[in-house]
Structure 1
Amino acid sequence: MGESLTLRRKRPTDSILYGLIYFCALLSVALLALILLYVLIRGVGSVNWAFLTTVTSKLKGTVGIAGNLLNTLMIVVLTMLAALPIGVGAAVYLNEYAKPGKLVSLIEFATETLSGIPSILFGLFGSMFFGETLGLGYSLLTGALTLMLMVLPLITRNTQEALKTVPDSYRQGAVGLGAGKWYTIRTILLPSAMPGILTGAILAIGRIVGESAALLFTAGAAKTLPKTLAKFFAKIFQSGGTLTIQLYLSATSEGDFSTAFGIAVVLLVVVLFINMGAKALAKRLDVQNRK
């Protein structure tokens, strides 16, 4: 009688299901490893210092992605500067201020619908509205504003879920001590939810780095490097192709697959470092919150 029912009656179907679960897990890992290995084998030979620090020039006989790296960094910074305050603010309103009702349901429905729209439609809208109506044309700013619309649902939903995980006792304790609503949110709730907010931000950066369809319509494909500080800031209002745009053009229009796989290797490394840094920072914030 001391034995559990699981130990006494282990059904054959349980073993089969366990086997299928482990097989699916191993298959997922194997597919990821296969993709990484294939990309590294095909592209690591193209990556060198000159490839990372120069731009492609037929006159100089150089092949490089420095301009595309800079454009990608600028797109990420511009998009996050616009999306983070709006996304976090919307999540705080929905979770802490808004009363459950039709308005909240409408906002949540709109957010979920927005996250399911194909990126090519965002690109078409961004080109027509930001590029034509607002007169921004093909520019990094047009691309950043378009990507802001794409990552807003991701940031909002992750922040909202992170705020829901904060215990109500934190809110009740702050009220008992006489703290105001905004003071409680700013000093207690947001710091406690920071690991979840950071996760949403990193997922958004990953989507920005990997996006190409929307940027083809909005940011263009220029890959020049600015030579002065004034030209650097002016570049925000000029055309600029990111790493994914250049990868697409190298593999299709130019037929240069060695360069395309080299860019793919750089993208993998960038995403790997972003994820590692995010995990380390989230773990550190979590440890600090528990103290």
Structure 2
Amino acid sequence: MRTIKQQHRAISAPIADLTTYRALPTASVEHIDPFLFLNHHGPQVYRPNNNGLPFGPHPHRGFETVTFILEGDILHKDSSGHESVIEAGGIQWMTAGSGLIHAEVSSENFKKQGGPLEILQLWVNLPAKDKMTAPRYIGLQKDEIPTATLDGGVVVHAVSGQWAGTAGAVEPLADVQLAWLDFPAGASITLPIAAARSIFFYVVSGRLQVNGTETQARQLVEFNHDGDELTIAASTNSVLLLGHAQPFQEPIVSYGPFVMNTEAEIQQAYRDYQRGAFGSWKG
């Protein structure tokens, strides 16, 4: 079984009136190659006639964002012409690639009606060969994401990769496997994950044991590369965000909304954005 290198507590990092915990990066962990960043928004309840999510138009280049809408909704719009409202149980997978401008805000209905909101946004690096690929956006509702039921009633929502013989909804550029798992209290499963692969293991809610070690909500568990098995047992009803990938082992240079391999590429990204190469924004 894999041994645990360290557990990292997500830190409070509110954005306007949005409750936010940042699990990656923090003072104790910079990244888990190729996983770069995770914000956990909520859970919270918005009143009627609210302002919704505060993420107006902003640029990205060189990586992908994967957004899990557990409660509430997100209206996505970008400079490549994509627009959709994804509701609770759905996901958005955006490949920024060579660069685009996008906004992530709440729908007019959510702003008017209010309601519960909980959202996870994960940034996944792109390998150097794919950093300048054409931008892509995939928005999927709950019923478009395959599920598999494992021992004890554990439900896997398969976003990418293979999970217990079930193919994920998205075929990513790199071999990145992502899912979230719903655990009923008392359930236990064992999953094979090759020792060479990086594991992304974030407890969204509840209490779990992984390979015999206790962990809980808003904890990111970092593993050593010394085993090929995870045994996960739920002490309470729990939700787990789980991913794994072969590490790229390439230089990572990030600044604001851009993630590249060199400082020169970051400077070029700013120049390209300023000259309009990321497309025009139509509000």
TM over 0.5: no
Greater fraction of residues in strand: 2
TM-score range, shorter chain: under 0.3
The structure whose RCO (Cα within 8 Å, separation 6+) is larger is 1
Greater fraction of residues in helix: 1
TM-score normalised by L of structure 2:
0.20
TM-score normalised by L of structure 1:
0.20
